[in-house]
């Protein structure tokens, strides 16, 4: 875990260096073609320095206001010159990959920036070998052809038609991820219907867009919660806080074993907190919505489920089909 944070810190350093070098070369370029801008920059930094000195000697608001006005005027002149010479207005502003944390990974209130969370999420995927799985299970490798076209009487459509719908919805989930639309999905159906595969498709697509995605089986989630209560280690405490904070949480395989009240309430506490914070969650389960509501009768549970769109997977067991 220490290695992981060191690696991420190094990434930020390289990022900052790269942007700094880019800024230096931009300055050189502009200074040689528009020398007035160089003068303006020099005046500005002298003014800033004067302001600092005078404030230390004899703090006076009037003087400070005057200096700020001068700096502001210089800034206007500089922008005008930049535009006149075919540059964008902010061509010489500091460059950041992430404006929110200025490439430090930390926000002003001390919390982790979303870009840092995304880096951690990506590392966790790679530590757990999930990133290898994602190279095989993603929207590009998804094959509608393996789903039967035979219409299921009880459903009124074929597994393939159903899958087409699910695929469309999953892509929509990705596309509208940053919209505040309360779109949480509950994939349900028997084992071997492609639920985990579809979760992986969504995860891969969003990780590629630098979204902080955390994938946990329901079993691992409970382990994390318990570990935190009883042992506490660093990896798990970072993972634990990400359950609440990450941009997308995927809980795979919520099953019958989680109907004991401790585990259930832990999982629902996490999901409920996320809903209150406007963060999205995907859950897969082999329980039907009916079974879920019977098992989880508590008010919190039913409120949580109301925020999920239930999506049914049905058809043959694909594991048997692929192996045969």
Among 4, 98, 130, 169, binds Zn ion (CB under 5 A): 98
Q: Which is nearer to Zn ion, 115 or 249 (CB)?
A: 115
Q: Which is nearer to Zn ion, 100 or 155 (CB)?
A: 100
**Residue 102 contacts by C-beta under 8 Å, 6 or more apart in sequence?**
94, 96
Q: Burial of 67 by CB count in 10 Å (0-12 exposed, 13-18 middle, 19+ buried)?
A: middle
The least CB distance from residue 11 to Zn ion, in Å, is: 12
Q: Which stretch binds Zn ion (CB under 5 A): 3-11, 40-48, 90-98, 304-312?
A: 90-98
Q: Which stretch binds Zn ion (CB under 5 A): 51-59, 98-106, 218-226, 310-318?
A: 98-106
The least CB distance from residue 104 to Zn ion, in Å, is: 7
Q: Which is nearer to Zn ion, 115 or 242 (CB)?
A: 115
Q: Which of 273, 238, 223, 202 is nearest to 119 (CA)?
A: 238
The least CB distance from residue 315 to Zn ion, in Å, is: 42
Does the protein bind Zn ion through residue 8 (CB under 5 A)?
A: no
Q: Which two tokens stand for residue 240?
A: 């634990």
The least CB distance from residue 231 to Zn ion, in Å, is: 31
The least CB distance from residue 276 to Zn ion, in Å, is: 23
Q: What is the dihedral of CA 103, 108, 111, 117, to 10 degrees?
A: -20
The least CB distance from residue 106 to Zn ion, in Å, is: 8
The least CB distance from residue 96 to Zn ion, in Å, is: 8
The least CB distance from residue 320 to Zn ion, in Å, is: 46
Among 69, 100, 155, 182, binds Zn ion (CB under 5 A): 100
The least CB distance from residue 214 to Zn ion, in Å, is: 17
Q: Which stretch binds Zn ion (CB under 5 A): 84-92, 99-107, 159-167, 176-184?
A: 99-107
User: Using CA atoms, how far apart are residues 57 and 297, in angstroms rounded to an integer?
Assistant: 69
Q: Which is nearer to Zn ion, 8 or 47 (CB)?
A: 8
Site string for Zn ion, 50-69 (x = CB under 5 A): --------------------
Q: Which is nearer to Zn ion, 67 or 98 (CB)?
A: 98
**How far is residue 145 from each of residues 91, 133, 161, 186, 289, measured CA to CA in Å?**
50, 21, 11, 24, 28
Q: Which is nearer to Zn ion, 34 or 115 (CB)?
A: 115
Q: Which of 143, 133, 177, 138 is nearest to 163 (CA)?
A: 143
The tokens 């095989």 sit on which residue? 136
Count of residues in contact with Zn ion, rule CB under 5 A: 5
Site string for Zn ion, 101-120 (x = CB under 5 A): x-----------x-x-----
In this structure, what DSSP letter does residue 194 have?
Answer: S
User: Using CA atoms, how far apart are residues 275 and 281, in angstroms rounded to an integer?
Assistant: 8
Q: Which stretch binds Zn ion (CB under 5 A): 17-25, 95-103, 139-147, 246-254?
A: 95-103
Q: Which of 252, 250, 129 is nearest to 191 (CA)?
A: 252
- Asked if 283 and 271 touch (Cβ cutoff 8 Å), the reply is yes
Q: Burial of 188 by CB count in 10 Å (0-12 exposed, 13-18 middle, 19+ buried)?
A: buried
Q: Which of 239, 266, 267, 230 is nearest to 252 (CA)?
A: 267
| Interface contacts to Zn ion, rule CB under 5 A | 98, 100-101, 113, 115
């Amino acid at each position: 875990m220490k290695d992981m944070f060191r690696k991420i810190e190094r990434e930020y350093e390289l990022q900052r260096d790269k942007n700094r070098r880019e800024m230096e070369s931009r300055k050189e370029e502009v200074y040689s073609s528009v020398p007035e801008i160089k003068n303006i920059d020099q005046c500005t930094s002298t003014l800033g320095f004067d302001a600092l000195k005078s404030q230390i000697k004899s703090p006076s608001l009037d003087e400070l206001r005057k200096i700020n006005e001068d700096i502001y005027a210089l800034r206007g002149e500089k922008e005008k010159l930049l535009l006149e010479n075919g540059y964008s207005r902010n061509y010489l502003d500091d460059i950041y990959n992430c404006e929110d944390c200025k490439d430090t990974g930390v926000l002003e209130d001390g919390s982790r920036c979303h870009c840092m969370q995304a880096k951690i999420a990506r590392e966790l995927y790679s530590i757990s070998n999930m990133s290898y799985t994602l190279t095989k299970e993603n929207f590009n490798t998804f094959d509608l052809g393996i789903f039967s076209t035979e219409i299921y009487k009880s459903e009124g459509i074929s597994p393939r038609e159903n899958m087409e719908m699910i695929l469309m919805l999953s892509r929509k989930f990705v596309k509208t991820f940053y919209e505040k639309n309360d779109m949480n999905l509950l994939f349900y159906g028997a084992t071997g219907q492609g639920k985990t595969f579809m979760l992986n498709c969504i995860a891969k697509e969003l990780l590629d867009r630098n979204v902080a995605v955390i994938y946990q089986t329901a079993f691992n989630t409970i382990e994390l919660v318990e570990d935190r209560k009883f042992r506490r280690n660093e990896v798990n405490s970072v993972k634990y806080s990400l359950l609440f904070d990450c941009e997308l949480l995927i809980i795979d395989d919520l099953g019958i074993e989680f109907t004991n009240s401790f585990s259930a309430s832990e999982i629902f506490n996490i999901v409920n907190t996320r809903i209150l914070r406007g963060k999205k969650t995907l859950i897969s389960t082999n329980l039907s919505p009916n079974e879920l509501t019977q098992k989880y009768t508590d008010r919190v549970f039913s409120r949580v489920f109301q925020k999920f769109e239930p999506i049914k997977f049905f058809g043959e067991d694909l594991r048997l089909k692929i192996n045969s």
